[in-house]
Amino acid sequence: MLLGVGPDGPVRGRRVAVTGMGVVSCCGIGLDAFWDGLQKPAPDGERRVVGFDPTAWFGPKEVRRVDRFAQFSVAAADMALIDAGEIGADPDRSGVVFATGVGGLETLQEQIGVFHEKGPRRVSPFLIPMMMVNAGAAHVSMHAGWHGPCETIATACAAGTHAIAAAARLVATGRCDVAIGGGAEAAMVGIGMAAFGNMTALSSEGKSRPFDARRDGFVCAEGGAAIVLEDLDHARRRGARIYAELLGSGSTADAHHITAPAPGGNGAAACMELALADAGVSPTDIGHINAHGTSTPLNDLAESQAIEKVFGSPSPPVTSIKGVTGHALGGAGAIEAVATALTIDRRLIPPTAGYEQPDPEIHLDVVHGQARPWDPAPALSNSFGFGGHNGCLVIGPPPA
């Protein structure tokens, strides 16, 4: 990762390895179940996480004091740490950067009901620590026992990607030897769904069709994911399994509109170019793009235009896993980063479920129908959020 420019040119930081991953998704809990789910057709109906038991991570009293989004955060991070094996890092040099879009919305809605029905004295004293957006990161650090930086990013649908990028920089700069980056969301409660529905962001048919000509909105989802990011030399010394290398990242703002993307995808294109420069790769080096691909008319078109500006036509193979997973908002970027690393590790690009009818305005090589084998190369993972937040990761195969 590029840290800056010194008198002798670019200054590069330590190399960052991906050594552990965890995921809680509507298409599967755990890496293997999640990966299998990505190969299947789009599910019918809501994209809720079924079969999740938080008591595997929280005691009977504690579990009632932790919002669902923070439960997802801890579960994903714990799975990632178990996957990483015996890290042996100094707790003071181990950090957490986690993301969410809206935090504990379920708890907030519930306690507003209590306030109106039973009065202010019956409002839970745990409301604030349950709803605050930093609760996920805080619980992850407490469960891990890590004393390094513990930070939260809330940049809407780009938050998970930004969190992983920030965690990687903690390692690249030498502040930490290991860091967990990730994100989680659990906003599928009445008030959240009503708000998204009333702003016409959701699909009227309840179908996620990224880049398809019939797309008419996203399908809301919940879930979370986490990645263990480790100094490459540290990972090698302990004999860790290395899934991938996080090569670089980019972040820009559209500065255009609170919900709509900049015309022509200019902000997204700039973000992709910054990520490539940070990684020290060119557009021709990118072998795959895991797109933001929300299934909304404006966003998919703007992203496709941005990809065409940066990569030309034909584009590298593009997929959006939101056809299966739906859109997990602040958790989406983290879930998709895990999918991208698995795509490299398993040498297979998942198909874009729901894509059947090409849009004549979109000129992308959309992987669809079935998974596509590939020879792993650097891959780009895109996330673009309300507020004009853009985030991109460049993830490459593990070094020889």
Residues with catalytic function: 157, 292, 327
Extract the runs of DSSP E, i.e. beta strands, from 7-165.
9-12, 16-25, 28-29, 94-99, 150-153
Give the whole-angstrom CA distance, residue 185 versus residue 336. 14
Q: What is the DSSP letter of 157?
A: G
CB neighbours of residue 88 within 10 Å: 10
Please give the full DSSP string across 18-60, using - where no structure is assigned.
EEEEEEEETTEESHHHHHHHHTSPPPSS-B---S--GGGTS-T
Best CA proximity match to 383, nearest among 190, 212, 218, 251: 251
For the chain, first and last CA: distance in Å?
18
For strands 150-153 and 28-29, give the pairing. Answer: unpaired
Instruction: Provide the CB-side half-sphere exposure for 155 (13 A, CA).
Output: 28
CA angle 36, 244, 168 (to 5 degrees): 115
DSSP assignment, residue 256?
A: S
**Angle formed by the axes of helices 68-84 and 135-144, to 10°?**
40
Amino acid, single-letter form, for residue 113: G
Nearest to 381 by CA among 176, 157, 174: 157
Q: Cβ-count burial of 312 within 10 angstroms (0-12 exposed, 13-18 middle, 19+ buried)?
A: exposed
Between 266-279 and 297-311, two packed helices, what is the crossing angle to 10 degrees? 50
The residue written with tokens 């891990």 in the block is: 144
**311, 317, 323, 324 alpha-carbon torsion, rounded to 10°:** -130
Instruction: Report the sign of the C-alpha dihedral through residues 96, 102, 106, 108, in that order.
Output: positive
